[in-house]
Amino acid sequence: MKSTRIGISQDQTDLLITILRVLLIILALYAFLISVGLMGSGFKVFGKGFAKALIETTSNPFVGLFVGVLATALIQSSSTTTSMVVAFVAAGSLSVTNAIPIIMGANIGTAVTSTIVSLGHVSRVNEFKRAYAAGTVHDMFNLLAVFTVLPLELTTGFLSKSATALTTVLSGSTGMEFKSPLKLVTQPVNNAIVSAISSIEFSKVLTGIIIVILGIALLIISLYFLSKLLKVLVMGRIKDFFEGSFYNNGLVAMMIGLIFTAIVQSSSVTTSLMIPMAAAGIMTIHQVFPVALGANVGTTVTALLASLATGSPAALTIALVHLLFNVTGILIFYPIPALRQIPIKCALILADLAARNRIYAILFILFVYFLIPGLAVFLT
């Protein structure tokens, strides 16, 4: 065994380097989580009030879908949108019928975060192509699920009827609170940064924009180091783990996505964490897809807890509609291999276009999440 000049063996040197890399990965991951939180906080500064007003004044179910997309894209949190919807239904200011399309729109809107995160790899073509495909497979599935399930709901009412039946069984349940451990770790730093910027005498909109820009800058930096460190440290071992545990068993991957999202109370965090691993080649789009599906189900936990806390049967019904909608989408698209490939192929095609010309990546986000929903709401 060879030794260095200061008496440290090569094995010990390798161990120290590995420990240092692990610590740097933890630091980069923490910075990444802070960046996602800052983007959400920035959007909420100038978007939450607007989102609340949109939801409260919605009466047309088709417009409700676009309201759900726009409101969630603005505040970067489907949990916040669905919790607001639950509160409005509990208060009687929003009917279950009108709330259902908003919930479906929120499902589409929540995918914008992981798609934005994938833009952090835009300067490196191959990484960006993998990242953007992994980011948009969530978008594609949610869009396809809404296009399939919403017409069925409007014609048959199967979601609301099923949820109402379940409500009679669960209506005696009581609410409970659950704190996300990730929020407990990141929220103090996030709040401190937001408070420091807010203390400067800027307008509300400008304050929000500054926070978002800071979040994006931190996102790009953290993703750069996270991708580099992951490649060096865990490329071989972790890739073997994912191939064994995820690719060959989609249900396991779904359960991991569900449980993790239920714990952190954010599907955006779960799906966004997959992006740097996909960019580094550690995970494939086929492995990311079932995790995203599990995250869709896991994110319904927040609204369910909120509805149980209200004690309102109508609020519980709409929370159960959210759960049943996501489960129905999975049952339609995932079990049959040919249908399972549709959102994956759509994401790969879009990623290929975006890799050739980055403007497609930007236009997809702008049109799907902001311009089309915003124009539909404005015109009606």
Contacts (Cβ under 8 Å, ≥6 apart) of 78 = 72, 106, 107, 109, 110, 267, 268, 299
Q: CA distances (Å), 85 to each of 171, 172, 361, in order?
A: 18, 21, 30
Residue 3 lies in a domain: no
**What is the tally of structural domains in the chain?**
1
Please give the average per-residue pLDDT across 54-74, as a whole number: 78
Residue 2 lies in a domain: no
Q: CA distances (Å), 123 to each of 184, 230, 231, 302, 355, in order?
A: 33, 18, 17, 36, 10
Q: What pLDDT is attached to residue 377? A: 79
Residue 1 lies in a domain: no
Contacts (Cβ under 8 Å, ≥6 apart) of 248 = none
Residue 258 lies in a domain: yes
Residue 4 lies in a domain: no
pLDDT(17) > 90 = no
Q: How are the residues of the chain apportioned to helix, strand and coil, as percentages rounded to the nearest 5? A: 85, 0, 15
Residue 157 lies in a domain: yes
Residue 5 lies in a domain: no
Find the domain containing 339 and state its range: 10-379
Lowest mean pLDDT among 51-55, 196-200, 332-336: 51-55
- CA gap 319, 317 in Å, rounded: 5
- CA gap 139, 147 in Å, rounded: 12
pLDDT(342) > 90 = yes
Residue 296 lies in a domain: yes
Please give the average per-residue pLDDT across 190-194, as a whole number: 88
- CA gap 218, 45 in Å, rounded: 18
- Which one-letter DSSP state was computed for residue 311? T
To the nearest whole number, what is the mean pLDDT of the chain?
A: 82
pLDDT(83) > 60 = yes
